[in-house]
Amino acid sequence: KSVSSIQINNKEYPSDDYTNVTPKILSYLNKNLHLQRGHPLCIVRQRIVNYFYSSFTHGGNPTFSVYDNLSPIVSTKQNFDDLLIPLDHVSRVKSDCYYINNSLLLRAHMTAHQSELLRAGLDNFLMIGDVYRRDEIDSTHYPVFHQVDAVRSQRKEQLFKNHPGLEIFEKAFLDNPLSFRNSIIDPSKQSCHTLEATKLMENQLKTHLLSLVKVLFGDDIRHRWVDAYFPFTHPSWEMEIFYENKWMEVLGCGIVRNEIMSNAGPNNSIAYAFGLGLERLVMALYKIPDIRLVWSTDSGFLTQFENKDLHTKIIYKPVSNYPQCTNDLSFWLPPAYTIDNFISNDFYDLVRDVGGDIIEQVKLKDKFVHPKTKKHSLCYSIVYRHLERTLTQAEVNRVHRKIEEAATESLGVTIR
Ligand code: PHE
């Protein structure tokens, strides 16, 4: 009997009747859009990190540490068991997750890393990365998306610094902790926690998340809180923001179940946690109408975000659906010029003059100084695209030729 296996990132994993990852899904594994400079997901990730870095400091250092490079391959223990997700919970079903085999899967949420980081002794941290879910296909769902998850814990001295004497835990719980395990009876709090501690944490959680959303969207953003349920927090909420005439869920949050805290180590603190979906925020922020666009490698999409200050207001302009066509143009500069004093904008204007609106982009691809002749050469890529129809290669070549002629004529360059 042959044992079958699958290869991911040059590692072999045994496969079994749980295996349902596909080559297409695995192809997203190392994309790391949230770390790709100039990508809208990266811009918003950075703005969120900056918010937490600047809002929470101790002794001049950021309180939060950031983990944005954790492997998306996790165990069912990490993704579910450690988070008190019951064995028969719907979120475990094969039809909702991408399993590598019956004990490993592509994380379905960044919360999968919460317990291990708590166990490592961390108390305030962000976990940022790609998550994988089998889901419906529409303009706001994609099988891979990105989340920012966080834990903020506090001990009694920090939480109640203005109210010394108040306690995080009920006295009866401290007297007999074991009798309190998994006791969620009261909708407003966990049985082990005092109401004061829970309310203060709820208030901080909601205040911090609302100011984050206002930092991103401005003060006018409309939001609402909806009661929610997660196995790993209690009480729990979701925040929705008003976008395109609809309420759209952007994050889930709540007070971390004390069983998770004490299993992982700290038994003297209370924590809030949240997980927010980066794509939803990015789409609402830049008015990107379809989630597939965040995976676009089309320069017509990407250049709308590149080389921008983090806070530039960007409104996405739809790019044409017709295909791009890229032709390169290399030339030797006339003797009076070097690659350093040649005015690129002169060339850009010329390209636009000759090519008109079918020019989508011109980018400098290469600079070169000939070692013997010392002549200087530049190479530009010209991206052509018509907004209303598919251009033929012959048509593009004709325009490209005209650009070469005009450049020779008015800039004195020599086409290579
Ligand atoms: N993991 C939850 C999700 O993916 C979000 C969440 C994180 C909720 C942390 C509460 C606390 O939907």
Rg, the chain, Cα only:
27
235 alpha carbon – ligand 1 mean position (Å) = 12
Centroid of ligand 1 to alpha carbon of 325 (angstroms):
42
pLDDT tens digits, one per residue of 108-148: 999 999 999 999 999 999 999 999 998 776 778 889 999 99
Please state, in angstroms and rounded to a whole number, the distance separating the CA atoms of residues 144 and 25. 8
Q: Whose CA is nearest to atom 4 of ligand 1?
A: 109
Q: Note whether 214 and 167 are within 8 A (CB).
A: no
Closest residue to atom 9 of ligand 1, CA basis = 274
- 103 Cα: distance to centroid of ligand 1 (angstroms): 21
Question: How confident is the model at residue 2, as a pLDDT?
Answer: 55
Residues 6-43 pLDDT 10s: 999 999 999 999 999 988 899 999 999 999 999 999 99
CB-ligand 1 contact for 274 (6 Å cutoff)? yes
Complex prediction ipTM: 0.98
Ligand 1 pocket member 149 (CB < 6 A): yes
Of all residues in the chain, what percent carry a pLDDT higher than 90? 77
Range of lowest pLDDT (70-84, 117-131, 174-188, 292-306): 174-188
260-272 average pLDDT score: 93
Q: How confident is the model at residue 346 (pLDDT cuts 50, 70, 90)?
A: confident
Residue range 91-106: mean pLDDT, rounded? 94
Query: Which residues 6+ apart lie within 8 Å of 246 measured at CB?
Result: none
| The ligand 1 atom nearest the CA atom of 108 | 4
344 has a pLDDT exceeding 90: no
Residue type, 394: A
What's the predicted TM-score (pTM) here?
0.84
Q: Which conformational region is residue 38 in: left (phi greater than 0), alpha (psi within -120 to 50 degrees), or beta?
A: left
Instruction: Quote the ligand 1 centre to 387 CA distance (angstroms).
Output: 41
Distance 16 CA to ligand 1 centre (A): 29
Question: Which ligand 1 atom sits nearest the alpha carbon of residue 114?
Answer: 9
What's the mean pLDDT in 54-69?
A: 94
40 touches ligand 1 (CB under 6 Å): no
CA atoms within 13 A on the CB side of 94: 10
What confidence score (pLDDT) does residue 404 get?
Answer: 97
Q: What pLDDT shows up at residue 181? A: 67
Q: Which tens digits make up the pLDDT trace of 173-192? A: 999 988 876 668 899 999 99
**C-alpha–C-alpha distance, residues 375 and 333, integer Å:** 7
Confidence tier at 298 by pLDDT (50, 70, 90): confident
> Considering the chain, what is the average pLDDT of its residues?
93
Pairing assessment for the beta strands 99-101 and 246-256 based on DSSP bridges: unpaired
- Say if ligand 1 is within 6 A of residue 252 CB: yes
Q: Whose CA is nearest to atom 10 of ligand 1?
A: 253
In short, whether 237's Cβ falls inside 6 Å of ligand 1 is: no
Instruction: Please report, for residues 354, 380, 391, 392, the alpha-carbon distance to residue 395 in angstroms, rounded to integers and kept in the order given.
Output: 13, 19, 7, 5
pLDDT at site 1: 46
Q: pLDDT at position 379, please?
A: 96
